[in-house]
């Protein structure tokens, strides 16, 4: 018999706040943190840059993590895991007694170490061979060792689908009884590499991302780590845990269409969403909100919207669609997990979150777009999408418990 899988703990760090409580406060006040990238991080003065801003975490947190660990990501992730475990009322002794695993997604996690090594070599003529060994699996391994985890450990790097993919992997392990508890999520800090890379593709917005707007001109990058504690419903009830939501199902695929662009008709986005609903045994009539990947780039949003229109074509009522990247920026490997947490907060507060101006959204008989907070919306089922480079696609179905 398959286990039902629920979420019992949340931990987050992003431009919206240093923890989930701060995130909730800023969401309620509709406050975002989209500012100029400080020169201490890297220079954005080159004329070829389309803008000089990002959705950044608190400078003090960034600097503290950097001082404690030159590669930063393990410190930031550990901070969020601590928060999620405390939220779930799990002590270190409890997670060590159980079969507790870790699924962590990151898109470009090890590039921070690569850049540090290059700077030491070029600027100071120092060869830091240790940082040359710093890889994505090493990040995850060091975190698993830190928390003395005995269960399955997975490093997932499927571009911008990494965070959602990690939730799906954790779901599989718990549903099939291969783990008691799973710590799942994603982490990425944007660096010179990601900033210049997306800029070279003309994918950065010149102002701020406006998902699905007809005048959208690109994405805005952001820092984030999002962590969820997942366990079986039976386990959660037995120990009296707070249950935030249930994970009903997910699907991943690779469309193999293009290295950096989705199929324009959105037929693989449609397949990913449709199969997620089938796996979750949820009818599209019962889905009130789609938390879209919605980067704000012309090709991504166009394809995803086409996929959504096809998915909703026979639905009787309108469906809310929004992209919370207008609140956090595109956080790459952390995007899916941060967006899952924001979906959980939508259940908690009966609110769909958004914050951008757009008066030129496409007309649709099936869709109502979320561009600002919409309160008193008791959604019961949310489909959350992550569609990344290399054709990596993942969707997850979250339900109110």
Task: Give the active site residues.
Answer: 160, 293, 330
Copy the structure tokens of residue 131: 């940082």
Nearest residue to 299 (alpha-carbon basis) of 161, 202, 396, 190 = 202
Is residue 111 within 8 Å of residue 191, measured between CB atoms?
yes
Copy the structure tokens of residue 208: 């701020």
Copy the structure tokens of residue 31: 């406050």
HEC states along the chain?
CCCCEEEEEEEEEECCECCHHHHHHHHHHCCCCEEECCCCCCCCCCCCCCCCEEECCCHHHHHHHHHHCCCCHHHHHHHHHHHHHHHCCCCHHHHHHCCEEEEEECCCCCHHHHHHHHHHHHHHCCCCHHHHCCCHHHHHHHHHHHCCCCCCEEEECCHHHHHHHHHHHHHHHHHCCCCCEEEEEEEECCCHHHHHHHHHCCCECCCCCCCCCCCCCCECEECEEEEEEEEEHHHHHHCCCCCCEEEEEEEEEECCCCCCCCCCCCHHHHHHHHHHHHHHCCCHHHCCEEECCCCCCHHHHHHHHHHHHHHHCCCCCCEEEECCHHHHCECHHHHHHHHHHHHHHHHHHCCEEEECCCCCCCCCCCEEEECEEECCCCCCEEEEEEECHHHEEEEEEEECC
Is residue 205 within 8 Å of residue 50, measured between CB atoms?
yes
Q: How far apart are the first and last CA of the chain?
A: 20
Sign, CA dihedral 288-291-292-296, equals positive
Copy the structure tokens of residue 70: 């030159």
372 pairs with which residues across the strands?
355
């Amino acid at each position: 018999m398959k286990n039902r899988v629920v979420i019992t703990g949340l931990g987050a760090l992003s431009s919206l706040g240093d923890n989930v409580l701060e995130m909730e406060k800023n969401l309620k006040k509709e406050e975002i943190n989209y500012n100029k990238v400080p020169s201490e991080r890297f220079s954005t003065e080159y004329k070829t840059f389309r803008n000089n801003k990002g959705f950044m975490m608190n400078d003090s947190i960034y600097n503290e993590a950097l001082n404690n660990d030159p590669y930063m990501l393990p410190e930031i992730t550990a901070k969020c895991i601590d928060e999620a475990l405390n939220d779930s009322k799990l002590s270190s002794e409890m997670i060590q007694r159980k079969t507790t695993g870790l699924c962590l997604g990151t898109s470009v996690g090890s590039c921070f170490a690569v850049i540090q090594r290059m700077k030491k070599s070029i600027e100071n003529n120092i060869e830091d061979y240790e940082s040359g060994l710093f890889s994505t699996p090493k990040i995850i391994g060091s975190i698993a060792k830190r928390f003395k985890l005995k269960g399955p450990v997975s490093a997932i790097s499927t571009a911008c689908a990494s965070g959602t993919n990690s939730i799906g992997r954790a779901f599989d392990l718990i549903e099939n009884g291969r783990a008691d508890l799973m710590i799942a999520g994603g982490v990425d800090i944007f660096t010179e590499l990601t900033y210049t890379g997306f800029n070279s593709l003309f994918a950065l917005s010149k102002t701020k991302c406006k998902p699905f707007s007809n005048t959208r001109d690109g994405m805005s990058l952001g820092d984030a780590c999002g962590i969820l504690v997942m366990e079986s419903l039976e386990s959660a009830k037995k120990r009296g845990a707070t249950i935030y939501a249930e994970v009903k199902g997910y699907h991943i695929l690779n469309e193999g269409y293009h290295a950096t662009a989705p199929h324009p008709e959105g037929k693989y986005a449609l397949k990913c969403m449709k199969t997620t609903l089938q796996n979750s045994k949820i009818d599209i009539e019962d889905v009130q909100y789609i938390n879209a990947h919605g980067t704000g780039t012309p090709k991504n949003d166009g394809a995803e919207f086409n996929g959504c229109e096809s998915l909703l074509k026979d639905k009787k009522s309108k469906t809310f669609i929004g992209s919370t990247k207008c609140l956090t920026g595109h956080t790459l490997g952390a995007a899916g997990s941060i967006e899952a947490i924001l979906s959980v907060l939508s259940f908690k507060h009966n609110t769909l979150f958004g914050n951008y101006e757009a008066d030129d959204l496409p007309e649709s008989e099936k869709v109502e777009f979320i561009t600002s907070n919409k309160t008193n919306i008791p959604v019961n089922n949310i489909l959350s999408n992550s569609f990344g480079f290399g054709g990596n696609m993942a969707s997850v179905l979250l339900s109110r418990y």
